[in-house]
Amino acid sequence: MLGNFTFYNPVKLHFGKDALNFLHGELLQYGPRVLLCYGGGSIKRNGIYDKVMQVLRDAGKTVVEDPGVMPNPTIGKLREGARLARENDVDLILAVGGGSVIDYAKGVSASAWCEEDPWQKYYLRQEEPSCRTIPVGSVLTMVGTGSEMNGGSVITNPETHQKIGKVFQPGMMPRFSILNPEFTFSLPKWQMAAGMFDIMSHLLEQYLSGTDDNTSDYIGEGLMRSLVHASRIASANPLDYEARSNIMWTATMALNTMTKMGKSQDWMVHMIGQSIGAFTNATHGMTLSAVSGAYYRHILPYGVEKFARFARNVWEIRPEGKTQEELALQGIEALESWMDEIGVVRHISEIGVTEEMIGDIAANAIITTGGYKTLSTDDIVKILHDSL
Amino acid sequence: MLGNFTFYNPVKLHFGKDALNFLHGELLQYGPRVLLCYGGGSIKRNGIYDKVMQVLRDAGKTVVEDPGVMPNPTIGKLREGARLARENDVDLILAVGGGSVIDYAKGVSASAWCEEDPWQKYYLRQEEPSCRTIPVGSVLTMVGTGSEMNGGSVITNPETHQKIGKVFQPGMMPRFSILNPEFTFSLPKWQMAAGMFDIMSHLLEQYLSGTDDNTSDYIGEGLMRSLVHASRIASANPLDYEARSNIMWTATMALNTMTKMGKSQDWMVHMIGQSIGAFTNATHGMTLSAVSGAYYRHILPYGVEKFARFARNVWEIRPEGKTQEELALQGIEALESWMDEIGVVRHISEIGVTEEMIGDIAANAIITTGGYKTLSTDDIVKILHDSL
């Protein structure tokens, strides 16, 4: 059943090889000062920085640069960016990069004119901005997080080993996002693989929850089938535009709030993964893939029917002559075998987690309640052990 | 492959049994004068009129009533509504009804302050408004058209026997729509069936076109599977909230521009159906169902591969031991058998079309070019004959 919900997603998306052509028109809707946020400099090597700077110049903008946004953006960096945005009184924050940079830009937007500490207000207390905020736009260079079409902002506090996601209201979503699949061509293969698993994980967190029948799950199944199909083509030939364009669009559709409408959700894989990220600084998608096998095997007995449906409808496994349990398990095995195909890690030891760290990671993981089993910290310890 | 596109859909949707509770807050965002558009009075019989009027009163609105919007709204009625909106200088147009009423409300919005004749400007010349427009909101009481989340507006000119759809830009979409599945409970069964087929037809028009691989088609498959599943439950028990809520949401998702992004589309079933509607005033969904079997059998040879995929992925027909052509045909047969199950007409003679009318209906049908075969008028005549 679809419960009560409000769906509102006012992000304007320009998609395709010519998408950057729309940036000029978007920029004209804002004042002259732009904070340009980006990461470690890959956009300088692949030429995207030059292209974007040209458009900014042509639109007569004054650009304040804010480089060095790290893969797991820290609250310290965010506080600096907020100061930069405020001191330069920028009219627009333009994030050029992947989910980390866009997540960071939303945090800067909410914090620039906020008198309270953003870590306390937005991430720990999960409040909405009560101050003036700054419009955000994005040019996407990496797929996975869906940050280009949602209000999500995940920030890490290295001092407390906490990595916390805040989902801002629709008014804080990017006003526009530029999605050119070719901008993802220069990504290393492992990073593309991590992004593909991040997409799958978003879909699974929303799908593998609840026992009711709802349209959102059917949309989720369609997106998973598209992802699996395109990922196999893109893994064999990373420059296949058709596959890469489908992966990019699937990523956006997978976390724009659509596939969760009216249904329960899980999100424990993300909670455990984010805790690992706070202790190891590992790539987000890899922290998810490293625990997913053990996590889903752990909760399978509590959601057999949906796992069986997952096997049938996503992996096209025939049910004849099998118990629901056997079918359900084959769905997880198909998922794991696909993970091997695309080349993501399947064990936390591969991303720097040792047995000694498990207690702290488990203790720091936020526990959500929408999944088939509400975990205890002991459950998380067991899952992490099984993932070693 | 996903081609270049812009996706922008800023409609805010409030969904569920409590959705009407959000109307008050929405109304507060607009000035005091509201044009209330509705149809033939069914909302007075089922109590929705009283509920909406109560909310309007509580919000302190002055209401100008514009009842009597017919199932195929005419350009004459639209011109009157535009005069009413202008003379009362309304701040909001609130459409309470199904697609006809919401389509009409968009036309009134674009025409109230337009100095040109709306039939010429919007429907014949397909232009956008160059005048001030009036915000539109909707309370949905019938599912099918998706008008609650798109810019579509289909208007009929009875004098010229033309029924033409204009798709307005996103700024003309409803600002908000209230979707309570219970508001559709009092619909007669034939009208629910017509709505369900309208949804399927929207999905098919977008899906059965093109030979490339794209995520939009996978989303479309998911929506079709959800629709088929829920329609069977709702046909057996029209008051099943779960099924009706899924049908309502599927209708909205099926035509909010999402499943056409980056791909070609057909729309010839709608063009033939709309021409039939202009000559018979038959219910929209029934005009579509009456020609679909013959239409799809006619174009099948030009799109065998996609029809075969339709059979496999939507109807779960096993491909083993069958040629592509056999599999493809079984997909159409499954569609027809589902049409019989939900109870829609399969022949145009059932909705008032006689052999003598076929020439005029064919001549007045607009011909689109995105499908597997660009039809000639002779093709349309043949399809209509096959549909008798």
Return the percentage of chain B with pLDDT > 70, whole number: 100
**pLDDT attached to residue B370:** 95
**φ, ψ at B13 (rounded to 5°):** -110, 130
Instruction: Show the domain range for B325.
Output: 188-387
Nearest CA to B293 among B362, B387, B199? B387
Same domain, A121 and A153: yes
Per-residue confidence at A41, pLDDT binned at 50, 70, 90? confident
Same domain, A44 and A173: yes
Look up residue B185 and give its two tokens: 């409970």
Per-residue confidence at A351, pLDDT binned at 50, 70, 90? very high
Same domain, A372 and A310: yes
End-to-end CA separation in angstroms for chain B: 38
| B130 DSSP assignment | -
- Which residues, numbered 193 to 212 in chain B, qualify as contacts with chain A under a Cβ-Cβ cut-off of 8 Å? 212
Look up residue B318 and give its two tokens: 């096993």
Same domain, B39 and B126: yes
Residue B6 lies in a domain: no
pLDDT at A2 over 90: no
Same domain, B24 and B116: yes
Q: Quick one: angle between helices B268-280 and B377-387, nearest 10? A: 70
Torsion of CA A216, A218, A222, A225, to 10 degrees: 120
**pLDDT attached to residue A379:** 98
How many domains is chain A built from? 2
Look up residue B25 and give its two tokens: 């807050």
Task: Pick the residue from chain B with its C-alpha nearest to A180.
Answer: B4
ipTM over 0.85: yes
**pLDDT attached to residue A31:** 98
> Domain with B255 in it: what CATH number?
1.20.1090.10
CA-CA distance, A221 to A336, in Å (whole number)?
17
Residue A1 lies in a domain: no
CA-CA distance, A282 to B244, in Å (whole number)?
45
Residue A252 lies in a domain: yes
- Which residues, numbered 220 to 279 in chain B, qualify as contacts with chain A under a Cβ-Cβ cut-off of 8 Å? 220-223, 225-226, 229-230, 241-243, 245-246, 249-250, 253, 258, 261-262
CA-CA distance, B262 to B316, in Å (whole number)?
26
Q: Which of A141, A157, A183 is the last residue of a domain?
A: A183
CA-CA distance, B388 to B386, in Å (whole number)?
6
Secondary structure in 3-state letters for A140-152? ECCCCCCHHHCCE
> Domain with B124 in it: what CATH number?
3.40.50.1970
**pLDDT attached to residue B213:** 94
Torsion of CA A348, A351, A357, A363, to 10 degrees: -70
Query: How is the beta sheet containing A62-66 ordered, strand by strand?
Result: A62-66, A33-37, A92-97, A136-140, A176-179, A12-15, B5-7
Q: Which residues does chain B have within 8 Å of residue A250's beta carbon, measured at their own beta carbons?
A: 215
Q: Which of A136, A157, A183 is the last residue of a domain?
A: A183
Same domain, A139 and A230: no
Instruction: Decide if A215 and B221 are in contact by the 8 Å CB cutoff.
Output: no
CA-CA distance, A324 to B65, in Å (whole number)?
57
Average pLDDT over residues B352-364: 97
Give per-residue burial for A80-113: e unless 16+ CB within 10 Å, then b.
Answer: ebbebbbebebbbbbbbbbbbbbbbbbbbbbbbb
Answer yes or no: pTM beyond 0.90. Answer: yes
Q: Is B22 on the interface with A (CB under 8 A)?
A: yes
**pLDDT attached to residue A267:** 97
Q: Is A318 on the interface with B (CB under 8 A)?
A: no
Residue A325 lies in a domain: yes
Same domain, B324 and B340: yes
Instruction: Decide if A9 and B13 are in contact by the 8 Å CB cutoff.
Output: no
pLDDT at B152 over 80: yes
Same domain, A225 and A372: yes
The model's pLDDT over A162-200, given as tens digits with 9 standing for 90+, comes to 999 999 999 999 999 999 999 999 899 999 999 999 999
Same domain, B166 and B36: yes
Per-residue confidence at B77, pLDDT binned at 50, 70, 90? very high
Same domain, A161 and A234: no
Q: Is A184 on the interface with B (CB under 8 A)?
A: no
